[in-house]
A and B are shown apart, each in its own frame.
Chain A
């Protein structure tokens, strides 16, 4: 297999080179790949496996162990509802339920038209703004259920 022709692979290659193509460069390479492509697809995993001389199973095993890595593409818009303790006791569960019902998808899923991904986070570390959701990389703190829906409607329109 020749190296994929997509120029973006150069970014991943650069990370591996910086770390001397050592096997320990795996996680950092996955981070770069996800940053570059938005998610980790099979060609990307295969590419990393080949370049670092690791079995594909190992690469897949590591990619699925860490929550941060996504093996499916995200939607056009993304909402991450924080489910940390502080958010939880301030009603994050209700927010998530309402959004799941409103858009007919579960946490971690994308709508059929690829417009919206609904995600959850363990804790985004902005506990003083609980409950918080991150709509298209913009944190929206001290949310009510209504705010959350309104923010998404705005992003989607």
Chain B
């Protein structure tokens, strides 16, 4: 059990010394994408090869979270603790492990697998949320502490009042990373001001949005960062209990979080009287069951209570009437992961990244017809062209860019001629899309946009909880009408009806799922109307 900052530093120093005993490290990415390409076996083989060559005293092999460049997995980084030099190897298979160990032994890099780290993909990123991903061992709390972990929590508990924490977060301008972009500080303040005996902190790790895997990577690569952010939220708002709601489809994330909570409990970093301060905080993981609607705040809390995930009318907002009727703060995984760097470096530092109205960085999952699929973190306000070409490496297989889809089933498609757009909450909203949780799906000229719109509509139809009529019936009807366009059997009246239904469903649905369901249709009609017209049969 540790109770003081000094004891925390002691653990950090001890671990750093232990880390420095080995001058070099081979860090094998065991993020989900690399894992499915056999990263665990590679880690095992590398450990064996390093031992066989008798260099285990100078080179340690460890598994780390997602490095980001998933397209080139399995990734292994060779890091020199003394010089800080790093060589990244890509497309490593089980056949390459001994060659790699030999390269470490002979100090001659394995040129054919070496990745160019000066290219845009790496150079243009700014890692704040993901600063530990790819560096620390997510299974080891001491490694997190050695990299400065839990210092923010201990210093805050000792030196700062809850109101000071909230004021820092407010000044930083941090906005909810789940997609809505509501100011986090304001949300916390509302709950902090409510006088109640019990309050809750809830973390949304449900990430039901297809094409998005940012939160998964954060939970898997750096679970303690999320835990520390939640504990700080608990202190700021006066809550002693938190829940992390994670999809059951993410077994690795669940395992890492549970392990991390156990380790934190054992060290007394979670539990009663943390850092000898009188602040108690306990944390539990709750499994979701693969329902997209549970990403909606009121649906999520009712799911934690053990019910069907039906949303309800707001107000009352969660800040008054949340989990079990008590005031509740609900934030997304990435939002909580931003708290520690803000408190460590100050609000002004944070404001140095991003734009005036959307400070900081955003993690995006780049997927679809793009060369460098993977996970990237960039300052808010970056031009779309930089994100797609400089970082993403452009469209794959030499085809032409057609559209960029952001925001998942609630978002929209942005046409290729709007590449000068700056990516932040407000500008995306202005062009009919939205930030969403951060999935960026690139489509090339082989895609039919009506089919893309139908894909999302069918998704919303199947995910609609059925509670309110506009969403339940509307999404079904719209899917049927879109089918007519795909089969080239639509009439002009169908087109008018489709547009009208979009408006009705948007205006009259109960929750965010229904209210945003028409967005993919509306944005494709706006920018790719000719494709709809092609689906209208001749009279």
Q: Can you name the residue of chain A whose Cβ is closest to the Cβ of B309?
A: A65
Chain B residue numbers with a CB within 8 Å of A65 are 289, 291, 308-309, 465
Chain A residue numbers with a CB within 8 Å of B365 are 127
- Do B211 and A122 have beta carbons less than 8 Å apart? no
- Do A123 and B210 have beta carbons less than 8 Å apart? yes
Interface residues of B in 304-318 (CB under 8 A from A): 304-309
Q: Given the complex of chains A and B, what is the CA–CA distance between A31 and B374 in angstroms?
A: 30
Given contacts A86-B211, A121-B249, A141-B36, contact A127 B373 (CB under 8 A): yes
Q: Can you name the residue of chain A whose Cβ is closest to the Cβ of B324?
A: A24
Q: Given the complex of chains A and B, what is the CA–CA distance between A141 and B71 in angstroms?
A: 11
Interface residues of A in 92-115 (CB under 8 A from B): none
Q: Given the complex of chains A and B, what is the CA–CA distance between A68 and B208 in angstroms?
A: 12
Interface size for chain A: under 10, 10 to 19, 20 to 34, or 35 or more residues?
35 or more
Chain A residue numbers with a CB within 8 Å of B73 are 128
Given contacts A31-B248, A65-B309, A122-B292, contact A86 B367 (CB under 8 A): yes
Chain A's nearest CB lies how many Å from the CB of B430?
23
- Do B210 and A27 have beta carbons less than 8 Å apart? no
State whether the Cβ of A28 lies closer than 8 Å to any Cβ in chain B. Answer: yes
State whether the Cβ of A144 lies closer than 8 Å to any Cβ in chain B. Answer: no
- Do B287 and A125 have beta carbons less than 8 Å apart? no
Given contacts A68-B249, A125-B216, contact A89 B307 (CB under 8 A): no
Q: Given the complex of chains A and B, what is the CA–CA distance between A138 and B36 in angstroms?
A: 7
Chain B residue numbers with a CB within 8 Å of A125 are 32, 207, 212-213, 216, 249-250
State which of B36, B287, B405, B456 has its C-beta within 8 Å of the C-beta of A27. Answer: B287
Q: Given the complex of chains A and B, what is the CA–CA distance between A31 and B246 in angstroms?
A: 13
Q: Mark A16-42, 1 if CB is under 8 A from B, else 0.
A: 000000111111101100000000000
State which of A30, A66, A88, A129 has its C-beta within 8 Å of the C-beta of B33. Answer: A129
- Do B367 and A127 have beta carbons less than 8 Å apart? yes
- Do A88 and B289 have beta carbons less than 8 Å apart? no
- Do B306 and A27 have beta carbons less than 8 Å apart? yes
Chain B residue numbers with a CB within 8 Å of A75 are none
- Do B306 and A62 have beta carbons less than 8 Å apart? yes
State whether the Cβ of A56 lies closer than 8 Å to any Cβ in chain B. Answer: no
Q: Can you name the residue of chain B whose Cβ is closest to the Cβ of A24?
A: B306
Chain A's nearest CB lies how many Å from the CB of B517?
15
- Do B441 and A67 have beta carbons less than 8 Å apart? no
Chain A residue numbers with a CB within 8 Å of B212 are 123, 125, 127
Q: Given the complex of chains A and B, what is the CA–CA distance between A139 and B38 in angstroms?
A: 10
Q: Given the complex of chains A and B, what is the CA–CA distance between A138 and B73 in angstroms?
A: 16
Chain B's nearest CB lies how many Å from the CB of A119?
12
- Do B289 and A27 have beta carbons less than 8 Å apart? yes
Q: Given the complex of chains A and B, what is the CA–CA distance between A127 and B375 in angstroms?
A: 10
Q: Given the complex of chains A and B, what is the CA–CA distance between A140 and B368 in angstroms?
A: 17
Given contacts A27-B286, A122-B292, contact A128 B210 (CB under 8 A): no
State whether the Cβ of B63 lies closer than 8 Å to any Cβ in chain A. Answer: no
Interface residues of B in 163-195 (CB under 8 A from A): none
Given contacts A27-B303, A62-B306, A89-B369, contact A128 B71 (CB under 8 A): yes
Chain B's nearest CB lies how many Å from the CB of A73?
18
Q: Can you name the residue of chain B whose Cβ is closest to the Cβ of A25?
A: B306
State whether the Cβ of B519 lies closer than 8 Å to any Cβ in chain A. Answer: no
Given contacts A85-B441, A89-B441, A122-B292, contact A24 B305 (CB under 8 A): yes
State whether the Cβ of B452 lies closer than 8 Å to any Cβ in chain A. Answer: yes
- Do A85 and B408 have beta carbons less than 8 Å apart? yes
State whether the Cβ of A116 lies closer than 8 Å to any Cβ in chain B. Answer: no
Q: Can you name the residue of chain B whose Cβ is closest to the Cβ of A130?
A: B367
State whether the Cβ of A124 lies closer than 8 Å to any Cβ in chain B. Answer: yes
Chain A residue numbers with a CB within 8 Å of B369 are 89-90
State whether the Cβ of A47 lies closer than 8 Å to any Cβ in chain B. Answer: no
Chain B's nearest CB lies how many Å from the CB of A120?
10
Q: Mark B65-90, 1 if CB is under 8 A from A, else 0.
A: 00000110100000000000000000
Interface residues of B in 280-307 (CB under 8 A from A): 286-292, 303-307
Q: Given the complex of chains A and B, what is the CA–CA distance between A45 and B209 in angstroms?
A: 29
Given contacts A85-B455, A125-B213, A125-B250, contact A62 B308 (CB under 8 A): yes
Q: Mark A118-150, 1 if CB is under 8 A from B, else 0.
A: 000111111111101000001111000000000
Q: Given the complex of chains A and B, what is the CA–CA distance between A88 and B373 in angstroms?
A: 15
- Do B455 and A126 have beta carbons less than 8 Å apart? no
Given contacts A122-B292, A124-B249, A127-B365, contact A88 B455 (CB under 8 A): yes
Given contacts A65-B309, A125-B216, contact A85 B36 (CB under 8 A): no
- Do A66 and B37 have beta carbons less than 8 Å apart? no
- Do A122 and B287 have beta carbons less than 8 Å apart? no
- Do A89 and B452 have beta carbons less than 8 Å apart? yes
Given contacts A89-B452, A139-B36, contact A28 B71 (CB under 8 A): no
Chain A's nearest CB lies how many Å from the CB of B294?
8
State which of B291, B439, B443 has its C-beta within 8 Å of the C-beta of A89. Answer: B443
State whether the Cβ of A69 lies closer than 8 Å to any Cβ in chain B. Answer: yes
Chain B's nearest CB lies how many Å from the CB of A137?
10
Interchain Cβ contacts under 8 Å between A and B, 25 examples? A23-B305, A28-B287, A66-B309, A68-B249, A69-B289, A85-B405, A85-B455, A86-B210, A86-B211, A86-B373, A88-B210, A89-B368, A90-B369, A122-B292, A123-B211, A125-B32, A125-B213, A125-B216, A126-B70, A128-B367, A129-B33, A129-B37, A138-B36, A139-B36, A140-B36
Q: Which 9 A-B pairs have the closest CB atoms?
A: A66-B289, A128-B70, A139-B36, A84-B210, A128-B373, A123-B210, A86-B367, A85-B211, A127-B367
**CB within 8 Å of A: which residues of B?**
32-33, 35-37, 70-71, 73, 207-213, 216, 248-250, 286-292, 303-309, 365, 367-369, 373-374, 405, 408, 439, 441, 443, 447, 452, 455-456, 459, 465
**CB within 8 Å of B: which residues of A?**
22-28, 30-31, 61-62, 65-69, 83-86, 88-90, 121-130, 132, 138-141
